[in-house]
Amino acid sequence: MTRMTPSLPELPVSHVLADIGAALADERRAVLSAPPGAGKTTLVPLYLLGQGWRGDGRIILLEPRRLAARAAAARMASLLSEQVGDTVGYRMRLDNRVSAKTRIEVVTEGVFARMILDDPELSGVSTVIFDEFHERSLDADFGLALALDVQSALREDLRILVMSATLDVERVAALLGRPPVIESMGRSFPIDIRHQDRPAGERIEDTVTRAILDAHATEQGSILAFLPGQAEITRTVERLEGLIAPETVIAPLYGNLGQKEQDAAIRPAPKGTRKIVLATSIAETSITIDGVRIIIDSGLQRLPVFEASTGITRLETVRVSRASADQRAGRAGRTEPGIAIRLWHPGQTAALPAFTPPQILSSDLSGLALDLAHWGVQDPSTLAFVDQPPATTLAEARAMLRQLGALDAENGLTTRGRLMRDLALPPRLSAMVISAAEFGQAREAAMLAVLLTEQGLGGQSIDLEERLRRFKTEKGERAEASRRLAGRLAAAAGEGKAAATGVPILAGALLLHAFPDRIALQRGGRGRFVMANGRGAELPETERLAGSPMLVIADLTGRAAQARILAAAEIARADVEEHLPGEIRTEDQSVFDKASRQVRARRVTRLGAIIFEETPLPRPTGEQAAKALADGIRELGLGVLPFSKEATQLRERIGFLHRTIGEPWPNMSDEALLSQLDEWFTPFQTEARGLSDISAGGLSNGLMSLVPHELQRDLGRMAPTHFEAPTGQRHPIQYEGEEPLLTIRVQELFGLKQHPAVGGGRLPLVLELTSPAHRPIQTTRDLPGFWAGSWKDVRADMRGRYPRHPWPEDPADALPTTRAKPRGT
């Protein structure tokens, strides 16, 4: 059946629309590569409306950001002369505009992942379109993996289209089973790319301001400038104010702005005026700001980087990729010839990474781990990810979910885990809302959860108690929509139970259930805290919370050694005892005291790494003391151990056999021995209570214990301590280098026709042959070759220097000796 296709404007992508429709009809999968300005976001979904194979199924269009989703829906609706919510609607976290008539739904990527997890058959859906897939968000990668899984197992009739302006086409096409790859032309207007170097040490906002003022004075049209983040945008606005004429509108554009401010930024400038839009990467894709013909690109972007070991996501300012730079420049040629000014040297472009790193490689994977458990997947490699989630990060995420009670020991979803996933919040915040529901505080916790996931609500204060108070009375459409969302979340968690006291619990007590590892005790002065996970965190001394004895930290950034607190709330020890009973424990510990280098014992009351009280106990002995000593050695390094000469040689001999023969001869490197202290050190040092008590003999016995019993008798044969010369003298063999070395006077080897070797005769010794004065005269790995070759030159030189010592013409048949010739001979 052929349907009427809506009348569409002529854009570059128009020439391949029929190819897309045919590919999806025949192959059910396709990839579209279309540069900026091609019109793919709006024209492709509208064209597919008229395809007979669609039936009455909906078309789902995924967009990476809310702003792009709203803009795409509005543009398509206008082309149909309809309102948003009729044929074309959108669905996102805080705003839905869909109806029974809606056949094209523009959704954010996170919303789609939840749609497919809740309805694996995607009932009523004909086609899923992944727009701007090159951004490689975690939700887009996961959504595509799920869609391909559903298509293979449940819905052969489902159509999947992946499209992007800048795409690693080969990898994506391979993932999709090599469907048709369709390429469209890009913009119709030329772009003049120019470069302006940023002076060394100059702040990026100063460079951008100067470039804007120059372009504004010499060029016509509106300007779109890309900066890395909100702070740089705010400072650029401050610098421009008073320098730009009133008929030019300055409009910031970033994620924390409300919908009205974002929509105002992308609206065309009023007639007779110009616009300067200062944007983050939010404006790179899927939106057109009419009238813009000048792009100023700082070349920077801010990306989140997650450290699994600390649970901290920090924002890093990094260079954009070449793909992003092309996307940004493409904004200038949408409607007329444009100019793109890049604030870096042209030679630096080649050094930019090809693509922005995919989020799945550097994100917190706790939400993904929860969703995988809901989907029934233990091994993510069974799903078609472009890049598989890193195993270490996924393991850390699952460990955290087990701590929150969401996963069982086999990483299966628990009853609590199902409730957490249903709340559509990050797992930590889901756990908080569910725990709060148990004592009638679900709404308060849901308000706090929404506050933490929707940046900017309640102001910018670090103090979450203050922000929560402001959010409850905050005016504006976004605040009201957020409070309604909190109400829905609370109802889903079981809001009905009455609060035990009737008085809302303070924010800090609620946050304990989300961030038990980030309970923090002030230590080291005002503004300095140590968290239960052992990491430090800081606040400016001028902040009110800097003087708090205890906090629970909801957000922080920076590297582990210098984490900066972004959001926190005050708590007391009594809150921890009430809400996390059993987490504060009293136990006896044996610890290594680095100052005295002795083992001490203490009784401590602690919460993770936080020590509330400690009392000294008598010094420990036996295995307890040895284990504490081992902890000290891990901290100080293997160099503190009193290895004897014999123990050192034993270690070198065994290490040589490991390097040359391999397993089962054990590794004797510092790293290997430190990792096995409990095997070779602790059992042999039970009499020691400090570094000075360590037994050198125990170290030798411990090292030997790592050698399998059946090999211990072979050690002397494979790596002997000494070489017995033909004279009967014994000489030590040195094993510390890459090859075993024997230093020996050349006269002691006379008569030897075979080169000395170890390792059962397989590994030749390096012979450092010396003169009678023990000075090196030759190094060789082939003694017979030396006798037959360069010995002649050595002999000629040495005879004159040492006439009283024998220098035979044929040393291979001479008698070995340690003596000089008698006088007069």
What pLDDT was estimated at residue 260?
Answer: 79
What confidence tier does 216 reach under pLDDT thresholds 50, 70, 90? very high
More confident residue, 399 or 310: 399
Q: Quick check: is 386 in a domain?
A: no
Residue whose C-alpha is closest to residue 295's, from 323, 325, 326, 328? 328
Does residue 699 register a pLDDT over 60? Answer: yes
What pLDDT was estimated at residue 498?
Answer: 54
Name the domain boundary from 550, 583, 616: 583
What pLDDT was estimated at residue 2?
Answer: 46
Token output for 148: 């391909």
**Which stretches within 621-695 are classed as H helix?**
622-636, 645-660, 670-675, 677-680
The tens digit of pLDDT for each residue in 716-749 reads 889 999 999 999 899 999 998 888 999 999 999 9
Q: Quick check: is 158 in a domain?
A: yes
Looking at residue 792, its amino acid is K
Residue 633: Cβ within 10 Å count: 20
More confident residue, 185 or 602: 602
One domain for residues 178 and 122: yes
Q: Quick check: is 730 in a domain?
A: yes
More confident residue, 798 or 61: 61
Return the top range by mean pLDDT from 42-51, 791-800, 811-820.
42-51
More confident residue, 349 or 558: 349
Give me the phi and psi of 602, to 5 degrees please: -150, 155
One domain for residues 171 and 30: yes
- For residue 212, give its domain range: 191-360
Q: Quick check: is 575 in a domain?
A: yes
Q: What CATH number is given to the structural domain containing 48?
A: 3.40.50.300
The tens digit of pLDDT for each residue in 335-363 reads 788 999 999 999 899 889 888 889 899 88
> What is residue 10's three-state secondary structure?
coil
Name the domain boundary from 551, 583, 615: 583
One domain for residues 44 and 152: yes
The tens digit of pLDDT for each residue in 465-512 reads 999 999 999 988 888 989 999 999 999 888 655 555 556 688 999 999
Residue 657: Cβ within 10 Å count: 24
The tens digit of pLDDT for each residue in 577-628 reads 989 988 899 988 888 888 888 999 999 999 988 999 989 988 888 888 999 9
Give me the phi and psi of 681, to 5 degrees please: -100, -55
What pLDDT was estimated at residue 323?
Answer: 84
Percentage of the chain lying above the pLDDT 70 cut:
96
**Which residue spans within 131-201 are E strands per DSSP?**
159-164, 181-183, 191-195
One domain for residues 522 and 559: yes
What pLDDT was estimated at residue 357?
Answer: 87
Calculate mean pLDDT across residues 556-567.
80
One domain for residues 152 and 251: no
**Is 373 within 8 Å of 75 (Cβ atoms)?**
no
One domain for residues 42 and 29: yes
One domain for residues 311 and 431: no
One domain for residues 327 and 283: yes
Name which of 25-34, 265-274, 510-519, 622-631 the model is least confident about: 265-274
Give me the phi and psi of 378, to 5 degrees please: -90, -40
What pLDDT was estimated at residue 91?
Answer: 93
Name which of 4-18, 292-306, 423-437 the model is least confident about: 4-18
One domain for residues 172 and 208: no
Residue whose C-alpha is closest to residue 631's, from 609, 602, 605, 598? 598
What confidence tier does 1 reach under pLDDT thresholds 50, 70, 90? very low
Q: Which whole-number Å values give the CA distances from 171 to 141, 151, 175, 355, in the listed order?
A: 13, 19, 6, 13
Structural domains counted in the chain:
5
Q: What span, in angstroms and rounded, lies between the C-alpha atoms of 106 and 97?
A: 10
pTM of the full predicted structure? 0.74
Residues 6+ apart with CB under 8 A from 622: 686
Average of per-residue pLDDT values in the chain: 89
What pLDDT was estimated at residue 582?
Answer: 84
Name which of 85-99, 116-130, 538-552, 795-809 the model is least confident about: 795-809
Does residue 11 register a pLDDT over 90? Answer: no
The tens digit of pLDDT for each residue in 359-414 reads 899 889 999 999 999 999 999 999 999 999 999 999 999 999 998 999 999 999 99
One domain for residues 650 and 502: no
Name the domain boundary from 183, 200, 227: 183
Does residue 313 register a pLDDT over 80? Answer: no
Q: What span, in angstroms and rounded, lies between the C-alpha atoms of 741 and 768?
A: 7
Q: Quick check: is 400 in a domain?
A: no
Does residue 824 register a pLDDT over 80? Answer: no
Query: H/E element holding 327?
Result: helix 322-330
Q: Quick check: is 610 in a domain?
A: yes
Q: Quick check: is 396 in a domain?
A: no
One domain for residues 639 and 691: yes
One domain for residues 483 and 461: yes
Q: Quick check: is 407 in a domain?
A: no
Does residue 133 register a pLDDT over 50? Answer: yes
Does residue 683 register a pLDDT over 60? Answer: yes
The tens digit of pLDDT for each residue in 628-665 reads 999 999 989 998 999 999 999 999 999 999 988 888 99
